[in-house]
Structure 1
């Protein structure tokens, strides 16, 4: 970290693109507390990733798309994430800032592109938080039922729900309010306001618990594996993305976004003790750990339960029933409920830091960047975020736009990879404590890195099945997800045009009269 930067550098020319010196100055004067170690960053990444992906998505991906070959899907998705993780690692070692892909886009493509990336990140994290909170509510309700306490249905479901059989095209409204999801979100909000160091300690305990539960499941489940359930390893195609090779890639696109929790580590750069060293370790380390855990658990799960029976919200619970171990069923339920709390904490932490960075740039109101004098956290913005996510969880059906949010995530990942190429060509002089592997080639003097180029390619590969399904939904009479996405993007454009552009700290100074 250059200690010589004591005052804001001059603003760049047209295009409102930040310079490396500006980013470093902002990082030196952010007011946040530096307390996170490399170990805590790895745990943050693991805690933000291992959750709904292993407890829900694995079963759906296997049952609907890939069968036992979902293990290949894990490898494809892990490779896509690994190339992006390496790119994150290089950028976070030279640009230790809180804004993640938003900040990187500000440097490589300018303010307008950065705003759209930030707007997509807010959607990604917001919907992900709400989806995780809704899943947490479902497991918690089941756990309460095991103990003999049954919550009224009106307090465990969202106000709006898709009408069964309409693929989300029709929505029903009733006097419902997901009280468990609402309350859980507010409790996590309170922890994040109290301080990142305290939240990290609680997160460490939660991660240890849920990984321990998965270890027990694997250890006991090995004895119940029936190898016949792994055959045929690649089921014959049944049309579309149902099985066959196409199904493998469709499953990979689902699983790809079960890994995105590792991105939360990059938003912690401004609060890491030694960000140039620890953040790359946290990003890559958490991704590798999660990949190993995912594949081991999925292998055992698919060996216990025939893949066609896994299209349920709680696939691990189905496996435990086959194993005839009631106490393990209770343990898995507890692990899922508490484990999803750590995912929710990691995602909300990441979103609050993205809001903080965008607010400091003047593109949204300054209230989101007010730092608490004692806790040194963006407390007002975190509280506002917590209430918004809690209300979304309690009232809205999240699942109908999940794939569209995933497309936005892939776009953000692609921009991260592109920024590595941009920085290598525009600032070859800066010190890079961590560099992407595999080298690169030069085309007409322009350096093209192998790793970031592969990252961009894999992001495109991940989005093709998602876009194909979206087009199919529209042609089948279900335009709801597309309408919601277009509305959100239009709101983002209007917000920038009427507020962000006028209040941006990068706007040119008015001429002196």
Structure 2
């Protein structure tokens, strides 16, 4: 009798866990939460476009372009940028439709909560932490390097131990080794503290600062491109697609591998969707901000990459500062200083956009009970989540100052592509579950109906491209694992297990949806 009760209880517990992870948030609840979030609605369409541009143009063009060209694609890196842009564009269409009919701060997290349930929503939220939070640390680390170099040019030398992470990786024949030393990236910590202070003071004030920074950094990049036109060597573009050397080194496979690397350079445009609750007219302005910022960034990327490859042989670009190498080839000392200033200031706006996105995702998750209520506390004076901003800023600062960020860039791309795929699926699910729902913006290209199920062309292509972006990353990860280098695979597994532990240990029990279910029963 006792054993049967235990078995029955165990089955009920398992069923309850499955049911809790599958519970969805009703659309009317989404609308009600949008009306009562307490955040200040002040962002215009132009500010949203500039938020996307400011969050996107940064480390991708200043750092990753050179590595992707030298290691994988050569001059055909331009095609890689187009492929990565297409992967983002179809997802941007999906974001635009969802944001126009569900203007909430949580971005992909909130969309997944409606379409796939709480467990999937938590998974997406955890992936967004990888996308935004870890990306913040990577950007802050890069900003530290450029700022140190800029200060050094003015005669202010920063000791190495104050701008390097405590834990660093050293590649070798036996795999990646980890070293620990008396180092602390104080420069990155100061940068994060400054940006967090801007965000805590108010979204409108942060938006004004972002406009100035975006104008400066985009202007610097176009000055670089203009000067580069006078120093082009067309022979450097030949062969446009270098012969394959096996694996993902050059040839057509290299183009797609490079696309998966620079895919990371586009992720900032998604931050616009996290600003829906603070937009003046979210149903109109958020789609404009998402798609507009993506198109502008793609144009800038292709222009700068074309000049970069035409000024310096791609074999010489596997460095942390490829634009600096190109400027040296132009023999323009003043331009070198200008590019350094543009990179330092520009990375500040990227850091601002990514921190903003992470804080707003946690804000929405906190209102759902999945993370601490501290993240959703709104300061009545600034109308911003000041406590959440401080917490996120401190965590990102400590991660940047101590952890080796360079080995997880591929993991960020994996997390981002997965979240993008879920967003595209949500559009398909919403069209079938709520076909009559008003949609001020609809995905283009229409769709087909298969056995009564509508499948949109744009969302389906978005899912396909998400898979294309992740396949080379997983292949390389498994090859590294088979070759005795398990670092990336272990990090991915550890991150996934840690996220599951938090959900089942805290989030599932404190979920407001779960409490509602208990009241109903």
TM-score for the superposition, normalised by structure 1: 0.96
1:16 alignment partner, one of 20, 23, 44: 23
Matched, 1:235 2:242: yes
User: How many Å apart are 1:44 and its aligned residue?
Assistant: 0.2
Match of 1:490 among 492, 497, 500: 497
Aligned residues of 1:207 and 1:339 also touching (Cα < 8 A)? yes
Q: Which residue is equivalent to 2:10?
A: none
Residues 239 and 14 (structure 1), Cα distance of their counterparts in 2 relative to 1, 3 Å cut: closer
- Quick check: which one's helix share is greater? 2
| 2:297 matches 1:290 | yes
Distance 1:121 1:33 in 2: 23
> Residue 226 of structure 2 corresponds to which residue in structure 1?
219
1:6 matched residue in structure 2: none
Question: Given the alignment of the two structures, is residue 380 of structure 1 paired with residue 350 of structure 2, yes or no?
Answer: no
For the residue of structure 2 that corresponds to 1:442, the secondary structure is strand
Find the partner of 2:48 among 38, 41, 51.
Answer: 41
| 2:21–2:119 Cα contact (<8 Å) kept | no
Q: Deviations over 1:241-266 (max 9, x none)?
A: 11000000000111112101000000
Residue 119 of structure 2 corresponds to residue 112 of structure 1:
yes
Query: Residue 512 of structure 2: SS of its match in structure 1?
Result: coil
Which residue of 2 is the match for residue 340 of structure 1?
A: 347
Counterpart of 2:252 (choices 245, 253, 275) is 245
User: How many positions carry a matched residue from both structures?
Assistant: 502
* 1:14 Cα deviation from its structure 2 partner: 9.1
How far 1:19 moved relative to its partner? 1.5
Report what 1:405 is aligned to: 412
Match of 1:171 in 2: 178
CA distance in 2, matches of 1:477, 1:126: 29
Tell me the distance in 1 between the aligned counterparts of 2:313 and 2:42. Answer: 46
Q: Let me know the Cα RMSD of the aligned residues.
A: 1.4
What secondary structure does 2:172 align onto? coil
Q: Mark the runs of 5 or more structure 1 residues left unpaired by the alignment.
A: 1-11
Question: Equivalences for 1:268-347 in 2 at 5 Å?
Answer: 268-347=275-354
Runs of 5+ in structure 2 lacking a partner?
Answer: 1-18
Distance in 1 of aligned mates of 2:142 and 2:244: 31
- Asked if the contact 1:80/1:459 (under 8 Å) is kept, the reply is yes
Per the alignment, residue 4 of structure 1 pairs with none
2:168 alignment partner, SS class: strand
- Over residues 22-70 of structure 1, what are the superposed CA-to-partner deviations in whole Å (9 max), with x where a residue is unaligned? 1111111000000000000000000000000110111111111000001
Report how far residue 97 of structure 1 moved. 0.2
Match for residue 152 of structure 1 among 156, 159, 162: 159
* 2-structure distance, mates of 1:126, 1:242: 30
Aligned counterpart for 2:400 among listed residues 373, 393, 403:
393
Q: 1:135 to 1:168 in 2, by over 3 A?
A: farther
Q: Give the counterpart of 1:102 among 89, 105, 109.
A: 109
Residue aligning to 1:434: 441
Question: In 2, are the aligned partners of 1:213 and 1:332 still within 8 Å (CA)?
Answer: yes
Map 1:440-451 onto structure 2 (within 5 A).
440-451=447-458
Is 1:256 equivalent to 2:263 in the alignment?
yes
CA distance in 2, matches of 1:238, 1:136: 34
Whether 2:492 is the aligned partner of 1:474: answer: no
Deviation at 1:214, TM superposition (A): 0.5
Mapped contact 2:216–2:346 kept (Cα < 8 A): yes
